[in-house]
């Protein structure tokens, strides 16, 4: 690890030295926007963006990558959930970058930027300035400040003029774009849907759509530069595939889909409900499993809702279904189950779940369809409790 960091430091220092000669000599340099195809890990499902720097005179080929992070960072998981993940700009040689994506099975698309010599020098200055120890670390925000938006912003800052993007684009939302890249990854999609709130379903403009690497690639291909004198030129000179790889589609994940598991959950609750009503007996062991699971899920969503700085999670209507209340009440519930006492919690819960399911179509948030059988399963349990309590009474 020390050797890698030392090598990266040397690359940065050598770039600083090289910059000093640009005022005296114009080298043959080229900048490109790199777009990497999605991988199979959850953090790579949406692809990646980087900037490639080639200096043909000095035989340099480097990649400026705003997506560097380390799992070994203290309290990484907690900080990630809270939305306080720090990423940084890294510099690597192109050869290992290319090998990594070839090994991963992800193609890499290169868009050569149509920049003047002055703009190229300015872009390099900006990137090297960003790489300074005091500047390279930034607070990552998936929708608003990520590896793609950072690369876009540096390219725009170096240009003498203004980048004009297409003015007619299809209406999209954050969740809609996320769903485009989670096809075939149903569990990952469910997890994201449970965490994202109503804000993720609002229509976003073209600039916000550029959080996605492949949307940025598409818009850059159609963009042009408007110079101060009114002249225009395309932002991208040409596009080519520099890593042609195929993702392994034979990887086997969990064999059952979320909907299959949710329907199985509903069936189990229906069976327990029938048994409880017929035998006039509450199976409190199932209550522990059921409400403990609901309460833990509720703690996660509530933490995201109240404490996380992740975008859109603070508007999540899923907190109506998953919150810590069942967990907090569980001990009283089990006591009443064992003592065969009338527990009004289940009557309130039954009414509450009924209203939740009836209001789902009008709540301004798109719910994953898996939520419905989950809510129905909880409803069946509450109904059986209510019926048994009335019979005992």
Chain segment 300-347, per-residue pLDDT in tens: 999 999 998 888 999 999 999 999 999 999 999 999 988 888 889 999
End-of-domain residue from the set 209, 243, 277: 243
Find the helix or strand (DSSP H, E) in which 73 lies. Answer: none
Whole-number pLDDT of residue 248: 65
CA distance 152 to 220: 9
pTM for the full predicted model: 0.87
pLDDT at 277 over 70: yes
pLDDT for 357-373, tens place per residue? 999 999 999 999 999 99
CA distance 323 to 381: 17
H-only helix segments in the chain: 2-19, 76-82, 94-104, 117-131, 147-158, 174-181, 186-195, 206-209, 213-222, 258-279, 284-306, 325-339, 345-359, 371-392
Residues 354 and 210 in one domain: no
Map residue 145 onto helix, strand or coil. Answer: strand
Find the helix or strand (DSSP H, E) in which 29 lies. Answer: strand 29-36
Whole-number pLDDT of residue 168: 76
Q: Domain containing 358: what range?
A: 258-392
End-of-domain residue from the set 190, 220, 243: 243
Phi–psi pair at 97, nearest 5 degrees:
-60, -45
Whether residue 196 lies inside any domain: the answer is yes
Whether residue 252 lies inside any domain: the answer is no
138: left (phi over 0), alpha (psi -120 to 50) or beta: beta
Residues 351 and 308 in one domain: yes
Residues 265 and 367 in one domain: yes
Residues 334 and 230 in one domain: no
End-of-domain residue from the set 195, 215, 243: 243
Residues 221 and 265 in one domain: no
Whether residue 42 lies inside any domain: the answer is yes
Whether residue 26 lies inside any domain: the answer is yes
Whole-number pLDDT of residue 70: 72
- Choose between 299 and 85: higher pLDDT: 299
Residues 117 and 149 in one domain: yes
Residues 86 and 163 in one domain: yes
Mean pLDDT to the nearest integer, 74-84:
77
Whether residue 157 lies inside any domain: the answer is yes
Residues 194 and 122 in one domain: yes
Tokens read off for 307: 């404490």
| Burial class of residue 320 (count of CB atoms within 10 Å of its CB; 0-12, 13-18, 19+) | middle
Residues 61 and 167 in one domain: yes
8 A C-beta contact, residue 206 and residue 217: no
Residues 153 and 276 in one domain: no
Whether residue 129 lies inside any domain: the answer is yes
If you average pLDDT over every residue of the chain, what do you get? 89
pLDDT at 206 over 50: yes
Domain count, the chain: 2
Residues 281 and 352 in one domain: yes
Whole-number pLDDT of residue 342: 85
Residues 229 and 276 in one domain: no
Residue with tokens 């898996």, as numbered in its chain? 370
Separation in Å, CA 121 to CA 116, 148, 156, 293, 351: 9, 21, 13, 56, 66
Q: How confident is the model at residue 12 (pLDDT cuts 50, 70, 90)?
A: low
Whether residue 103 lies inside any domain: the answer is yes
Whole-number pLDDT of residue 137: 92
Whole-number pLDDT of residue 304: 93
Whether residue 251 lies inside any domain: the answer is no
């Amino acid at each position: 690890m020390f050797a890698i960091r030392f090598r990266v430091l040397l690359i940065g220092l050598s770039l600083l030295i090289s910059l000093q000669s640009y005022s005296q000599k114009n080298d043959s340099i080229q900048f490109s926007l790199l777009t990497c195809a999605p991988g199979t890990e959850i953090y790579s499902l949406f692809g990646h963006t980087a900037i490639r720097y080639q200096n043909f005179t000095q035989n340099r080929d480097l990649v400026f990558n705003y997506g560097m992070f380390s799992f070994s960072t203290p309290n990484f998981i907690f900080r990630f959930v809270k939305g306080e993940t720090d990423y940084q700009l890294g510099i690597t040689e192109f050869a290992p970058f290319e090998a990594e994506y070839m090994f991963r099975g992800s193609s890499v698309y290169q868009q050569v930027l149509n920049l003047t010599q002055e703009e190229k020098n300015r872009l390099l200055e900006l990137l090297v300035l960003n790489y300074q120890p005091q500047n390279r670390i930034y607070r990552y925000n998936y929708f608003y400040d990520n590896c793609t938006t950072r690369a876009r912003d540096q390219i725009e800052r170096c240009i003498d003029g203004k980048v004009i993007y297409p003015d007619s684009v299809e209406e999209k939302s954050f969740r809609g774009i996320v769903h485009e890249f989670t096809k075939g990854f149903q569990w990952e999609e469910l997890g994201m849907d449970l965490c994202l709130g109503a804000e993720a379903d609002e229509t976003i403009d073209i600039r916000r759509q550029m959080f996605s690497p492949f949307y940025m690639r598409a818009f850059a291909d159609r963009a042009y530069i408007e110079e101060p004198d009114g002249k225009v030129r395309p932002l991208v000179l040409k596009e080519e595939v520099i890593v042609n790889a195929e993702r392994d589609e034979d990887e086997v994940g969990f064999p059952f889909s979320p909907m299959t598991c949710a329907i199985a959950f509903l069936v189990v609750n229906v069976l327990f409900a029938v048994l409880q009503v017929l035998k006039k007996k509450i199976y409190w062991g199932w209550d522990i499993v059921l409400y403990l699971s609901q309460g833990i899920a509720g703690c996660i969503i509530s933490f995201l809702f109240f404490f996380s700085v992740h975008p859109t999670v603070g508007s999540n209507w899923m907190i109506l279904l998953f919150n810590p209340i069942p967990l907090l009440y569980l001990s009283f519930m089990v006591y009443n189950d064992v003592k065969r006492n009338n527990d009004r919690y289940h009557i309130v819960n039954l009414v509450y779940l009924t209203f939740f399911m009836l209001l789902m179509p009008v709540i301004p948030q798109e719910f994953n369809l898996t939520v419905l059988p989950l809510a129905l399963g909880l409803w069946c349990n509450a109904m059986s409790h209510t019926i048994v309590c009335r019979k005992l009474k």
